[in-house]
Chains A and B, each alone.
Chain A
Amino acid sequence: MGPPANPLAPGNLPMVNRARAATTVESATEQRPDHALMLAVRGGELDALGELFERHHGRLFGFLVKLTGDRTAAEDISQIVFQRMLKYRHTYRDDGSFTAWMYHLARRCAADHFRRASAAPHAIDPSALHDHADDAPHAAHHATTRDDHALLHAALARLDHGDREVLLLSRFQELSFAEVAGILECSVGAAKVRAHRAMHALRDIYFNLQSTRTGQGKIP
């Protein structure tokens, strides 16, 4: 039996590979900045959005996973974000920052997602995200690391949605606080205060969970 069919094989998706090949050739010759690429998209050069997708979809997806605690929802929202970039490309400003615009759209899309959901975003049970440590030799370290990640996911899920949002945005070092404030539609000072408050809140939740795990051997 041969290997499983690759869904991204050239025969299956010529259009995908054409766009990616063009992107690769272009990046080999000239690395256009995000802003220039988005202006090109606005001007009708839609293939430029492929380059932007390749550059940013991973980080955008990570942001949305941390924000929603749900990988499937994060994929759906990422897709919607790029869909809206296409749909509203004419609204992209000459003096705009692509990254700030992308996270602005992502925040709106995530808000729509939460609104559509019947209940508030549920906290992820760490045990559902990762398996518990097995009894295999030398697995203790890996198990501890996995548990730390699960604890952090749990701490993020327990954080207020607004705090989680501002905290995640403020941790992107490529965004200035002015841009974060623009995304959140508040003043720079307010954005900083909210980010700092969220940092302290996450730290408290995280260490409470750690002390609970140490004391009871189980995450509540």
Chain B
Amino acid sequence: MNCQRVRQIFPELLDSRTSATQVPSGSTGTIEEARAHLASCPDCQREFARLSQTMQALDTLPIAPPSGRLRRDFYAMLEEEKHSAESVRAAAERQYRVRRAAMWRWVLSPLAACALVAAGFFAGRKVTPMAPAPATSSPDAVALQQQIKQLQDQVSNMGTLVSYSLLQQQQRPANDRLRGVMSSATLENPSDRAINDLISAVAFDSSPNVRLRALEALYPHAEQDVVRAGVLASLGREQNPLVQVSMIDFLAAANDVEARPALEKISVSVASDENVRNAARRALTQF
């Protein structure tokens, strides 16, 4: 690289925006080559020093600050503009736009939420795999199908009865409802209807005492799937920590492995009461 080419690159060397290896425009050499030449050429060093000195003098050339007139005139102009008709109108329009945007937010938010729910519903219907075709080949499978069918019918009946019972019970005083639960508990062979009453009391009664007593009454029938399923379903909607702990103890005593996922969730939920979490952890160790 000769002196002429290197001197073309001098401005690049003095520019902090130029990267170390960038090829400058209009030149065939690189910054690194120019630096290498500069280190060994006294003439170029002298020229570079003069250019550098000039630019440094230009960059550091002191300029006294402007007079106060500039600031005064500027703020006077700004104030005048703020009070001009156009600015006042623009400010009013801006406020109107802000208000309108807020109003649209109020309107659109619920609509968007509904649309999201609907989209989720339809998406869920689309992606949910179809139920596998029932295996009708073996007798065991047929028996299992029948059991499941019976269980489904029982659950369905239970739902109807629970609703009915709920309506009935909630209209009576708590003492009456408690007495009803206790009378059901004293039966040696309670009917399905009585069991359903107890489950519905556990699930829906407004009194924690009634729910606890009904749960206690269900202990002798914990071997029934429908009982364990009812208690497990009730656990999800239960808010009272005392009743929650009792329900967890019930499921643990019944060794209901179906309850494991729900208990695991409760055991780590920060929203749950500490005693409830501990009960869930304790129950999990018992399975």
Q: What is the CA–CA distance of A156 and B54 in the complex, to the nearest angstrom?
A: 11
| Interface stretch of the complex, out of A11-19, A100-108, A110-118, A119-127 | A11-19
CB closest residue in chain A, given B92 = A44
CB closest residue in chain B, given A74 = B66
Q: What is the CA–CA distance of A156 and B57 in the complex, to the nearest angstrom?
A: 11
Per-position contact with A for B1-21: 1 when CB-CB < 8 Å, else 0?
A: 000000010111011110000
B65-A171 in contact (CB<8A): no
Q: Is A3 part of the binding interface, using a Cβ–Cβ cutoff of 8 Å? A: no
- A177 CB contacts on chain B under 8 angstroms: 17
- A203 CB contacts on chain B under 8 angstroms: 50-51, 54
Q: Is A83 part of the binding interface, using a Cβ–Cβ cutoff of 8 Å? A: yes
Q: In whole Å, how far is A206's beta carbon from the nearest beta carbon of chain B?
A: 5
Q: Is A75 part of the binding interface, using a Cβ–Cβ cutoff of 8 Å? A: yes
Per-position contact with B for A194-220: 1 when CB-CB < 8 Å, else 0?
A: 011001101100110000000000000
Q: Is B62 part of the binding interface, using a Cβ–Cβ cutoff of 8 Å? A: yes
Q: What is the CA–CA distance of A65 and B82 in the complex, to the nearest angstrom?
A: 29
Give the size category of A's interface with B: 35 or more
Q: What is the CA–CA distance of A207 and B55 in the complex, to the nearest angstrom?
A: 12
> Contacts A148-B57, A171-B55, A202-B58 hold; do A8 and B17 have CB atoms under 8 A apart?
no
Q: In whole Å, how far is B284's beta carbon from the nearest beta carbon of chain A?
A: 50
B16-A206 in contact (CB<8A): no
CB closest residue in chain B, given A14 = B79
> Contacts A50-B78, A58-B65, A78-B66 hold; do A202 and B54 have CB atoms under 8 A apart?
yes
A75-B66 in contact (CB<8A): yes
Q: What is the CA–CA distance of A15 and B77 in the complex, to the nearest angstrom?
A: 11
B11-A199 in contact (CB<8A): yes
A57-B71 in contact (CB<8A): yes
A62-B63 in contact (CB<8A): yes
A193-B26 in contact (CB<8A): yes
Q: Is A49 part of the binding interface, using a Cβ–Cβ cutoff of 8 Å? A: yes
B78-A196 in contact (CB<8A): no
Q: What is the CA–CA distance of A62 and B70 in the complex, to the nearest angstrom?
A: 13
Q: Is A86 part of the binding interface, using a Cβ–Cβ cutoff of 8 Å? A: yes
Q: Is B157 part of the binding interface, using a Cβ–Cβ cutoff of 8 Å? A: no
A86-B54 in contact (CB<8A): no
CB closest residue in chain A, given B54 = A203
B87-A44 in contact (CB<8A): yes
B70-A152 in contact (CB<8A): no
A46-B82 in contact (CB<8A): yes
Per-position contact with B for A170-201: 1 when CB-CB < 8 Å, else 0?
A: 11010011000000000011001101100110
Q: Is A93 part of the binding interface, using a Cβ–Cβ cutoff of 8 Å? A: no
Q: What is the CA–CA distance of A65 and B87 in the complex, to the nearest angstrom?
A: 32
Q: Is A161 part of the binding interface, using a Cβ–Cβ cutoff of 8 Å? A: no
Q: Choose among A50, A62, A83 the residue that contacts B75 (Cβ–Cβ < 8 A).
A: A50
- B149 CB contacts on chain A under 8 angstroms: none
Most A CB contacts (10 A, CB to CB) among B11, B50, B87 go to B11
Q: In whole Å, how far is A182's beta carbon from the nearest beta carbon of chain B?
A: 15
B25-A192 in contact (CB<8A): yes
Q: What is the CA–CA distance of A203 and B7 in the complex, to the nearest angstrom?
A: 13
Q: Is B237 part of the binding interface, using a Cβ–Cβ cutoff of 8 Å? A: no
A16-B11 in contact (CB<8A): no
Q: Is A79 part of the binding interface, using a Cβ–Cβ cutoff of 8 Å? A: yes
B66-A13 in contact (CB<8A): no
- A192 CB contacts on chain B under 8 angstroms: 11, 24-26
- A188 CB contacts on chain B under 8 angstroms: 25
Residues of B within 8 A of A (CB): 8, 10-12, 14-17, 24-26, 50-51, 54-55, 57-59, 61-79, 81-82, 87, 90-91, 93-94
Q: List 7 A-B contacts (CB under 8 A).
A: A8-B68, A19-B79, A49-B78, A71-B64, A78-B66, A192-B25, A206-B57
